[in-house]
Structure 1
């Protein structure tokens, strides 16, 4: 009798991020925002975010070097910073 090769289950994104696979359940996409996402959320330009946000207390995380470096922001910190900007 011929032996049927076992098919391996396809690993989906949810499998990779699931807590039972050793992950925390949060993928990077859910925790971090890039500069364009922050700019769109604040209705500002990306150049404004690069120039002014750190001066105003919104800190980014730099990944990479030089021109190709990517600045990412934690969503929770962006929302916290936004709450602090509220006018009473």
Structure 2
């Protein structure tokens, strides 16, 4: 799978026939950030920032995953959501 496949999956996710659940959106976010940025090295948001904290934790779950592997997982997950 190539960068073009990843970019296509990132575009496709915006046109899914049904809106992903919050858990699915968090998984997509975490894989996307891991694939594009790498390991999360930002500080964890405060307790009152529930949305930011959830996104940070979703990204942090992928720590240690290579950017290439994260891209492949993202593409697979988007294709799963499309079916």
Calculate the TM-score normalised by the size of structure 2: 0.26
**Greater per-residue strand proportion:** 1
If asked which structure has higher relative contact order (CA below 8 Å, sep 6+), I would say 2
Larger Cα Rg: Structure 1 or Structure 2?
A: 1
Calculate the TM-score normalised by the size of structure 1: 0.25
**Greater per-residue helix proportion:** 2
